[in-house]
Structure 1
Amino acid sequence: MFHDMEIDKLVSIINGSNFSVIDVRSPSEYSDFHFPNSINIPVFNDKERAEVGTLYKKKSPQAAKERGLEIFSAKLPSFMKSVASLPGEKVLYCWRGGMRSKTAATMVDLMGLPVYRLEGGIRSYRDWVVRTLNKLEVRPITIVLNGYSGTGKTSILRSLKKEGYPVIDLENIANHRGSIFGQIGLKPNNQKTFDSLLLDQLLQYKDSPYLLIEGESKRIGKVTLPNFLSKKKENGIHVFLHLPLEERIRNVIEEYEPWNHKKECIEAFQHIKRRIHTPVAFEIEENLLAENYRDAIRLLLEYYYDPRYSHSVSLYEHPENIFFKSRTIEDAKEQIKQFLTNYHVNQ
């Protein structure tokens, strides 16, 4: 007989333990939100789930159970083969610890494999994330990387993270670059996924002397930063980068690859067109349509993003602010690394 496992137990043992966490919900449910590093082995696909749900509502719960069992029985051999291929003991979950995970866990148990069912399903994990974020105390000093669009802030932070620096990559966990063009080529995460990934990184670096983050606004794409992190950002040590305009234009082009996202670029521009002086807006649009991306980006930086950034900088004026003037992203990264070395030594 399988046993239920509470979410507090699962999150306390999952790192470094010999467990495989299996999400038995449909692929679309898994895509919307799932336990970190879990494997999706669905009892029903999206179409089958809709069919069973319709039977439950329009006919009877019994009819839904019978049809669900019929569907699952046909795929049981492949389901068991997939489960058995995963290492260690298994923890299964569905939406709220209901029939799908119960049925799947029963079958796995009958095959002689050690298995648990997550009590309360994925909802219990979401509740745990919200509860933990609300009471979390972030002790490390926050070092905030700022700079005009195209200065390579995100690129620098990701490079530093690979080298072992304690970086909270907000754009990565939001899967959005933080501007009106920020979702081009990406599929932005929802708030549930963002909160989960953010909490995981915050807990990972809870004993670090400092955290490195980018100077994002409170909202990044579809998600919102928790209040405590916004306050940590406001009260942190602010580092400001400056790169030549031509270098910034080159960086933007390399990052966004606008030639691969022509329609998305035009659509995104329409959202800000009315905020730009009419003759300049017309010129930007003409350049985008003609695929003259270098000229379009130059105008966007000079007449839209740079003035907005200059205003935001004024909100963080402080004598302890750090300013670096660099030729390239690599130069800026080396200056930041030297600053972090000196900062760490002096703590």
Structure 2
Amino acid sequence: MFRDITVEDMMVLREKGKNVLIDVRSPSEFNHSTIPGSLNIPLFNDEERAEVGTLYKQVSPEAAQERGLEIVSAKLPDFIKAFKQLDKEITVFCWRGGMRSKTSATVLDLMNVKVNRLQGGVRAYRKWVVNKTERMDLPQKAYVLNGNTGTGKTLILRTLQKEGYPVIDLEEMANHRGSIFGQIGLQPHNQKTFDSLLIERLEQLKDSSYVLFEGESKRIGRAVLPDAFSDFKEKGIQIFIEMPIEERIQHILEDYQPWKYKGECMEAFRKIKSRIHTPIAAQIEEGLKTEEFSLVVKLLLEYYYDPRYKFSADQYPDSHKVTLQVQNVGEAVEKIKNLIGQSSQKGKRVASI
């Protein structure tokens, strides 16, 4: 018989690397919001789910159940085969831990596939995330990475994370780079997905005395930082990276690859065009049309992003600021490691998960 487990049970299994989570809801439900790291093996596709739901509402629950049984029966061999290819203990879930996950768990159990069912499904998990967000357990100290656009802050953090430092990658969690051009080439995450990724990362880093993350604004794409985390950020040690503009331009070109997204770049620029001195704005627009992307980036930095950054940087008192002048990302990484100090590193590193 399959076993019902709680969200807390599930988190313990995941931490030990002994469990794979399977969302049996439809693809559109999965894509909207799921438990991070889950795989989607749907019991119904979107059209089938809509058909069964219509029968339930307009005819009767019995009619919906009969049609659902017809649909599931036809796809059972492929459904079970997909699960048997997995080499870990399985936990299935749906929206409320109801019929879809119960049916899936029952069938898999009959086929000798060891399986758990998550009590309360995604809804119970979301409640767990909300409770954690409201009572956020944060480390003692934050190192907050600031710097002009293009200083490679995300690359610096990801390099440190690969080396085992306790990094929270907010841009990755939001799937957005945090500027008006930030979603180009990306599909930004919604608030539920962002919250889940942030809370789970904090759970992974709960034994660390400090964390490193970028000094993002309150909103990152479609996601908003929780108030407690924003307050934590403001009280942290603010590291300001200063880097030559030529290096910054190169970082931006490598990251955004504007030649692949010319239309999206033009659309994003026109949202801020009115905030830039008219002759400069005209020059930028012409540069986008003629694909002079290095010039475009240089003008955007000098006449839009750098002045805005200076204003926000001036809001922090000098007692909370550390300025690091570097030539490149590699030098920045080494200086940050030195700043944190060898005594902080020993025993405090957390493996990248």
* SS of equivalent residue, structure 2 residue 142: strand
Q: 2-side partners of 1:219 and 1:91: how far apart?
A: 34
What is the aligned partner in structure 2 of residue 287 from structure 1? Answer: 287
- CA contact under 8 A between 1:19 and 1:87: conserved in structure 2? no
- CA contact under 8 A between 2:236 and 2:320: conserved in structure 1? no
Q: 2-side partners of 1:217 and 1:88: how far apart?
A: 40
* SS of equivalent residue, structure 1 residue 14: helix
- CA contact under 8 A between 2:36 and 2:193: conserved in structure 1? no
- CA contact under 8 A between 1:140 and 1:207: conserved in structure 2? no
1:234-283 Cα distance to aligned partner (Å, 9 max, x none) = 01101111111111111111111000111110111111111112221111
What is the aligned partner in structure 2 of residue 272 from structure 1? Answer: 272
Shift of 1:18: 2.9
Question: How many equivalent residue pairs?
Answer: 347
* SS of equivalent residue, structure 1 residue 100: helix
1:53-93 Cα distance to aligned partner (Å, 9 max, x none) = 22222222222211111111111011111112223432211
- CA contact under 8 A between 2:176 and 2:182: conserved in structure 1? yes
What is the aligned partner in structure 1 of residue 351 from structure 2? Answer: none
Between 1:59-68 and 1:295-304, the stretch displaced more is 59-68
Between 1:321-330 and 1:144-153, the stretch displaced more is 321-330
Which structure 1 residue ranges, 5 or more long, are not aligned? none
The answer as to 2:48 corresponding to 1:15 is no
Which structure 2 residue ranges, 5 or more long, are not aligned? 349-353
Measured on the aligned residues, the alpha-carbon RMSD in Å equals 1.7
Q: 2-side partners of 1:96 and 1:17: how far apart?
A: 24
- One-letter amino acid matched to 2:318: H
Distance verdict in 2 for CA 1:343–1:144, change over 3 Å: farther
Q: 2-side partners of 1:205 and 1:152: how far apart?
A: 23
Between 1:333-342 and 1:286-295, the stretch displaced more is 333-342
* SS of equivalent residue, structure 2 residue 168: coil
The answer as to 2:72 corresponding to 1:72 is yes
* SS of equivalent residue, structure 2 residue 145: strand
Q: 2-side partners of 1:331 and 1:139: how far apart?
A: 26
What is the aligned partner in structure 2 of residue 213 from structure 1? Answer: 213
Q: 2-side partners of 1:160 and 1:42: how far apart?
A: 37
Q: 1:154-173, aligned counterparts within 5 Å?
A: 154-173=154-173
What is the aligned partner in structure 1 of residue 189 from structure 2? Answer: 189
- CA contact under 8 A between 1:5 and 1:118: conserved in structure 2? yes
- CA contact under 8 A between 2:247 and 2:328: conserved in structure 1? yes
Shift of 1:140: 2.8
- One-letter amino acid matched to 1:303: Y
- CA contact under 8 A between 1:142 and 1:233: conserved in structure 2? yes
Q: 2-side partners of 1:20 and 1:253: how far apart?
A: 38
- CA contact under 8 A between 1:18 and 1:87: conserved in structure 2? no
- One-letter amino acid matched to 1:109: D
Q: 1-side partners of 2:53 and 2:263: how far apart?
A: 38
Q: 1-side partners of 2:241 and 2:19: how far apart?
A: 44
* SS of equivalent residue, structure 1 residue 185: coil
Q: 2-side partners of 1:289 and 1:85: how far apart?
A: 50
What is the aligned partner in structure 1 of residue 27 from structure 2? Answer: 27
What is the aligned partner in structure 2 of residue 127 from structure 1? Answer: 127
- One-letter amino acid matched to 1:319: S
Q: 1:131-142, aligned counterparts within 5 Å?
A: 131-142=131-142
What is the aligned partner in structure 1 of residue 2 from structure 2? Answer: 2
Using the size of structure 1 for normalisation, the TM-score is 0.95
Q: 2-side partners of 1:284 and 1:345: how far apart?
A: 45
* SS of equivalent residue, structure 1 residue 145: strand
- CA contact under 8 A between 1:129 and 1:196: conserved in structure 2? yes
- CA contact under 8 A between 1:6 and 1:118: conserved in structure 2? yes
What is the aligned partner in structure 2 of residue 325 from structure 1? Answer: 325
Shift of 1:343: 6.8
Q: 2-side partners of 1:159 and 1:273: how far apart?
A: 34
Runs of 4+ displaced beyond 4 Å: none
Shift of 1:20: 2.6
1:32-62 Cα distance to aligned partner (Å, 9 max, x none) = 2222322211101112112222222222222
What is the aligned partner in structure 1 of residue 59 from structure 2? Answer: 59
Q: 2-side partners of 1:15 and 1:41: how far apart?
A: 22
What is the aligned partner in structure 1 of residue 114 from structure 2? Answer: 114
Q: 2-side partners of 1:200 and 1:251: how far apart?
A: 29
Shift of 1:6: 2.0
- One-letter amino acid matched to 2:117: R
What is the aligned partner in structure 2 of residue 150 from structure 1? Answer: 150
Q: 1-side partners of 2:279 and 2:309: how far apart?
A: 22
Q: 2-side partners of 1:139 and 1:156: how far apart?
A: 21
- One-letter amino acid matched to 1:321: K
